[in-house]
Amino acid sequence: MNTSAPTTNHAELATFGSGCFWCMEALFQTLDGVKSVASGYAGGTKPNPAYKEVCSGKTGHAEVIQIEFDPQKISYEKLLDVFWEAHDPTTLNRQGPDTGTQYRSIILYHNEAQKKAAEKSKTKAQRNFSRPIVTELVPLEKFYKAEEYHQDYFRKNPNDAYCRIYIPPKLEKLEKLEAKAMKH
């Protein structure tokens, strides 16, 4: 997390699911204005789910990240832009090698303003995809933080085979997008 600019004490939360939470956590941690990112589970029915239960597909939960961000430094809309670029929102219950409902594309909004922003962003993002976006847009009922070994996974395990294969291309794509945005 880049903290070079002044920060405020005000923070907001955003909750997204778009495949493996390790990948998304690593990506969003790089954004200026993001204070913290926690991996967890949401969108299902089982209270206090464990990783193995979520992997079974029987809890209804998705692997998600919950982002604490400073809205004075990064907007919710910018987080949504990164969300759409970071995965394929047109594939149902699948991202890369990961399949199952726990890997679905989902935005869990925290309030009506986030819902409206997400709806508008989804409509805008659809222009970039030839197939329909299948991302769920639902209110966040409860976020369950994942087990400690899932937190900061890429930073703690940069040589993990999965991490080495899937995370660097996402980070490179984000860097290119940021560089392109700086030119305009």
48-106: per-residue pLDDT in tens? 999 999 999 999 999 999 999 999 999 999 999 999 999 999 999 999 889 999 999 99
Structure tokens at 86: 């970071």
What pLDDT does residue 8 have?
56
Structure tokens at 10: 């005000």
154: number of Cβ within 10 Å:
20
* Average pLDDT for 32-54: 97
Which is higher by pLDDT, 175 or 111?
111
**pLDDT of 146 above 50:** yes
CA-closest candidate to residue 17, choices 95, 71, 112: 95
Burial label for 148, CB within 10 Å (0-12, 13-18, 19+), is exposed
Structural domains of the chain, ranges and CATH numbers in brackets: 12-167 (3.30.1060.10)
- Strand ranges, E, within the chain: 12-18, 34-42, 62-69, 94-95, 98-99, 105-109, 136-139, 144-145
**Integer Cα distance of 105 and 92 in angstroms:** 7
Among the listed residues 20, 23, 55, 163, the single catalytic one is 20
> By 3-state DSSP, what share of the chain in percent is helix, strand and coil, each rounded to 5?
40, 20, 40
- Look-up of token digits 């726990």: 102
Q: At what angle do helices 112-126 and 76-86 cross, to 10 degrees?
A: 40
CA-closest candidate to residue 43, choices 81, 83, 22, 16: 16
The reply to whether 23 belongs to the active site is no
